[in-house]
Structure 1
Amino acid sequence: MTEYDAAHIQVLEWPEAVRKRPGMYIGSTTERGLHQLVFEVAGRPVNEALAGRAGVVDIALMSDGGVRVTDDGPGIPVGVDADAAGPGLEALLTRFQAGARHGGRHEAAMSALAVGPCVTNALSSRLKAEVRRDGVRWVQEYVRGASLTPPTVAGPATGSGTTITFWPDIDIFGTAKCSFAVLAERFRELAFLNRGLDVSLTDERPQGGPRAERFRFPRGTRDFVAFLDEPAAVPVHLDVIAFEREDPRMAGTLEVAFRWSDSREERIRTFANGRSTPDGGTHAAGFRDGVAAAMTAYARAHRQLTLTDDDFDADRISEGLTAVVSVRLDSPEFHGATRGFLGGDTVRSQVAEAVRAHLTAWLEGHPDQAAAVISRMLQGIRRA
């Protein structure tokens, strides 16, 4: 028999544990993993902004391969007051889950991983943190997760906030580069789902000069539906039907926006606690149930469906429908490792009930637009 005792157990401390098996923490050492590094650092300031403690979050892809994330919040606690005021700078950058967000319903979930910025630090050849707090500017630098010095006073500060700049380690990521388009898509999505969020993304790498986009959408999911609509499509009704509702029975909130156009495509995007759920789930099913029930009842009451006509079902309502369905739950029931499908029977029934009630009221209050939507559905049935 092979002898096995404590001498055979290898214990990897931070940051070696992360650097030895980076895929366990960020999923990949390709471009996707680089984006995860950005999201782990950006998660904290994004939630500071949503809580009203910061105004703007700026992300810059630098020409030398680094990434700079800046906010104008109160600044991460530093020094002797760190523990009292929250996770301090060193804890945030060297400990798992120190201040990392778990994607509760009042927070923006940057990803399904949420391991915290310490992982970004461990997988960067160099990281520099600058904190502006209480009139003092603090600076600390790291190399591959190890601090060179404690946080050091570098002079007076103008304003407040935090800037974290990191350079992904090429020994781990090779020649992979962050995609401006992929990052822009995610930050745009977050801004649509969180009306209080103001994010700018700048790419300083192009030889022709930097390009930048700012993501701020005061109308939230209404703007999201307009963005998703096919540019050449003609809306069947001008209004985007939208509402928000708190429902204690499912311990959460629901936000829905939708509109029909003359397109033959369906564009329905669903989210749970800010995470995309590409595989759908009970919130998606509940939305379809509610729309089908409201449209069927209204069409029958106004004799646009006869007694021999079938009810509108999920397939019949979907042609030309663009929708955003977002739930925020205290205890979401995600299925699968990637959290792409939302479970929970209560969610389905409550979403269906809310959608049916709101859509019914909208149809009754907009008879001309209601007739146009039902006519659109009947045309689709006849074509089929």
Structure 2
Amino acid sequence: MSEESTAYDASRIVVLEGLDAVRKRPGMYVGSVGQRGLHLLVFEAAGRALEEVLGGTAGRVEITLTADGGVRVADDGAGLPVEHAGHTGHGHPGDGPSLEQWLTVLGCGVRPVNRRSLSSGRSGVGLAVVNALSDRLTAEVRRDGARWVLEYEQGVAVAAPTRTGPAAGSGTAITFRPDAGIFETLEFSFDALAERFRELAFLNRDLDITLADDRDPAAPRAVRFRYPGGLRDHIAEQGSPLHPDVIAFEREYPGMEGTVEVALRWCDSPEERVASYANSLPTAGGTHELGFRDGLAAALTAHARERQLLAPSDPDLTPAQLGAGLTAVVSVKLDRPEFEGCMREWLGNTPVRACVAEAVREHLAAWLRADPARATAVLTRISTATRR
């Protein structure tokens, strides 16, 4: 091989900028050009609107899978400001970025990682990536009595923002159709999207989300997700309870720089169903789940000894013995979450374990003392399952 053929210097480097970079290397931004990446576009488009609801500037979000294979995400917020002829500002003070900036500037509007963020660094690529990876995107804004429309093709504006007439109310709607030249499939899974939006709703009690599917005109469907009681409402939906009460609480711990929310109930089934989340993201485990199991074992062991359901010579109950019939959700929201593992699905914050364990032990112990009969039923259930 000649020296000329192997020569490499700065002149050969191709620098990709802006939305061109996203279209050239989509996997770097959405992780996959399969269905997982396709769904991430929906979550990114919805994420901005959902955070408006959490911030108190919107009340509800509606996501619709449209008949032409696209997705529409609409909110009833104030409406993002639109730059247009004769106006280059951002609208009212405190409005933040304009709609055009959201759609064309990478990372625009992505919030810092903290307990109030829905992305927490594991997604959060922004609306500009949705625009870049869409064959066509239309943005509609209702604001200050006017309706504005912006249209893009493959991330490039088709025309200047157009005022199309008066509008009642306010809000922003983003309608996009993923680019068939980029994604391997354009088939959205209603069930997979519904499961994630359901999670977000019970993890964040202020959210009001509707997911609709208009792809089959003969069988349209829609479901609304709203859990004013948070995790308690979600656990209450689970069937065959061993006891009617849902044991639920929420507590802030400065020591872990965040909050813990837990809801649990034992059901008349052999399976364990424990789900854990950190900053509204599902986790495979971590210090929050370990703390939950530590607190569970400590409270049940102490009560069993107090009620003489364990002999003095019997060993303490272990977390591994307590799973039969247990249905629970453990959610922590941290200002500085630390995710570990190749998929970043394991929470590593060390102080979280002790804080969650203490909270679970104290609240579960209070419930056990308040109703000894139900407590005995739970311990008998655990003891029976352990002997099998």
Structure 2 length normalisation: TM-score?
Answer: 0.94
Map of 1:81 onto structure 2: 89
Cα distance between partner residues in 2 of 1:46 and 1:118: 17
Map of 1:308 onto structure 2: 313
Contact 1:43 1:110 (C-alpha < 8 Å) held by counterparts: no
From 172, 191, 198, give the equivalent of 1:181. Answer: 191
Map of 2:28 onto structure 1: 24
Q: How does 1:246-265 map to 2 (within 5 A)?
A: 246-265=252-271
Contact 1:137 1:154 (C-alpha < 8 Å) held by counterparts: yes
Cα distance between partner residues in 2 of 1:255 and 1:312: 24
Structure 2 residue matching 1:322: 3-state secondary structure: strand
Runs of 4+ with deviation above 6 angstroms: none
With over 3 angstroms needed to count, the CA separation of the structure-2 counterparts of 1:110 and 1:198, relative to structure 1, is farther
Q: CA deviation at 1:338?
A: 2.7
Structure 2 residue matching 1:289: 3-state secondary structure: helix
Cα distance between partner residues in 1 of 2:318 and 2:304: 13
Contact 2:272 2:324 (C-alpha < 8 Å) held by counterparts: yes
Q: Which amino acid aligns with 1:32?
A: R
Structure 2 residue matching 1:172: 3-state secondary structure: coil
Report the count of equivalent residues.
Answer: 378
From 292, 296, 300, give the equivalent of 2:297. Answer: 292
Contact 2:140 2:174 (C-alpha < 8 Å) held by counterparts: yes
Structure 1 residue matching 2:228: 3-state secondary structure: coil
Q: CA deviation at 1:209?
A: 2.9
Structure 2 residue matching 1:82: 3-state secondary structure: coil
From 133, 145, 155, give the equivalent of 2:143. Answer: 133
Cα distance between partner residues in 2 of 1:172 and 1:106: 32
Q: How does 1:53-72 map to 2 (within 5 A)?
A: 53-72=57-76
Q: How does 1:167-206 map to 2 (within 5 A)?
A: 167-206=177-216
Q: CA deviation at 1:174?
A: 4.3
Structure 2 residue matching 1:132: 3-state secondary structure: strand
Q: How does 1:1-384 map to 2 (within 5 A)?
A: 1=3, 2-79=6-83, 80-82=88-90, 84=93, 85-109=95-119, 112-227=122-237, 229=238, 231=239, 234-277=240-283, 279-383=284-388
Q: Which amino acid aligns with 1:81?
A: G
Q: Per-residue displacement from partner, 1:148-189 (whole Å, max 9, x unpaired)?
A: 223222221110000110111111124431111110000011
**Unmatched 5+ stretches in structure 2:** none
Cα distance between partner residues in 2 of 1:99 and 1:352: 36
Q: Per-residue displacement from partner, 1:237-256 (whole Å, max 9, x unpaired)?
A: 11010000011011000000
Q: Per-residue displacement from partner, 1:340-382 (whole Å, max 9, x unpaired)?
A: 1001221001100111011111111111111111111111222
Q: CA deviation at 1:103?
A: 4.9
Contact 1:289 1:352 (C-alpha < 8 Å) held by counterparts: yes
Q: CA deviation at 1:329?
A: 0.4
Structure 1 length normalisation: TM-score?
Answer: 0.95
Cα distance between partner residues in 1 of 2:97 and 2:341: 31
With over 3 angstroms needed to count, the CA separation of the structure-2 counterparts of 1:70 and 1:103, relative to structure 1, is farther
Identify the range of structure 1 (104-113 vs 199-208) with the bigger mean alpha-carbon deviation.
104-113
**Unmatched 5+ stretches in structure 1:** none
Computed over aligned residues only, the root mean square deviation of the Cα atoms, in angstroms, reads: 1.5
With over 3 angstroms needed to count, the CA separation of the structure-2 counterparts of 1:299 and 1:374, relative to structure 1, is same
